[in-house]
Amino acid sequence: MKFVKKTKNLYFFRCDSIPELDELVSKQVISEIKEKSHASLLLSPRQDLDKLYETIVYDYRNRLINCKYVCVYVTDEFLDLNHSTTYLSRHRWMNDHLFNYLNIKNKHIHYPTDYGDTEYSQYDRQIWKNGGIDLAVLVMKQDGNLVSYDFLNDRNNLTHAVKADDYNITELTKLYHVSSDVIPHFMVSVGMRSILNAKRIIIYAKGLECANGILALSKGEIDRKYPCTALVNHRDVRIYMDEAATKLLKKDNR
């Protein structure tokens, strides 16, 4: 790992390999769970985080961590699921990859299943009532998005309904190995304001497709073309990148 750059409270770290990237992100999350038994996490149901979830399960099975009192909020869930598509739910995906193998209590696992047109959503009320998010772990996407699909339309967004575009539907077909016509097109997702309220944020960035978003984020200014730049005024953001994701960042530093 190499420290690359600091912009405001954004810290950029380059990893020499994907395994190193996975290991460093995993260490951050495991450390949070060890240091705070009642840790509150915001996690994304993304295949890029498979190794993180495998590490949490491994450490739990080897009695290195205890997840009994950990509280997890999941970033998004499909809004228009029906009986025939329930197997596509984010709930099921997270169960299959993480929750089924831990001693975490069901009442400590939360999904955004409703939203509101008023200032506060039920999901965000629940988060605040329970003390807020200690650590958010998010994945940088091709368009500079971190969670939802209209992410920076409003930096004050809390949990809200979003419509997936063609790129995101293609991404979901790969994740679930199904045709695009069975993928639900609407989701409930946490918004930028929900994320900015987290005490600490980790960004997982892998691949050349992240390079433009990383470059924009490193400039320390909000750019509406890249939703991730809304994080520039957060108090503690750590960005862990592989070599490809830093390509434009290295050119900019020359």
Helix (H, G, I), strand (E, B) or coil at 234: coil
Amino acid occupying residue 1 = M
pLDDT digits (tens, 9 = 90+) for 90-117: 899 999 999 999 999 999 999 987 665 5
Q: What is the mean pLDDT of residues 229-242?
A: 94
Higher pLDDT pick, 120 / 204: 204
User: How many of the other CB atoms lie within 10 Å of CB of 233?
Assistant: 14
The structure tokens 């900015």 sit at: 196
Which CATH number describes the domain made up of 2-252?
3.40.50.1360
pTM, rounded to two decimals: 0.91
Axis crossing angle, helix 18-35 with helix 50-61, rounded to the nearest 10: 50
d(CA 235, CA 36): 20
**pLDDT score at 148:** 59
Token duo for residue 185: 């097109």
pLDDT digits (tens, 9 = 90+) for 174-199: 878 888 888 888 888 888 888 999 99
Token duo for residue 25: 């992100």
Higher pLDDT pick, 142 / 58: 58
- DSSP per residue over 171-204, as a string? HHHHHHTS-GGGS--EEEE--HHHHHTSSEEEEE
d(CA 111, CA 93): 12
Residue ranges of domains in the chain: 2-252
- DSSP per residue over 127-186, as a string? HHHTT--SEEEEE--TTS-SSSTTTTS-TT--SEEEE--HHHHHHHHHHHTS-GGGS--E
Token duo for residue 171: 């991404």
- pLDDT, averaged across the chain: 88
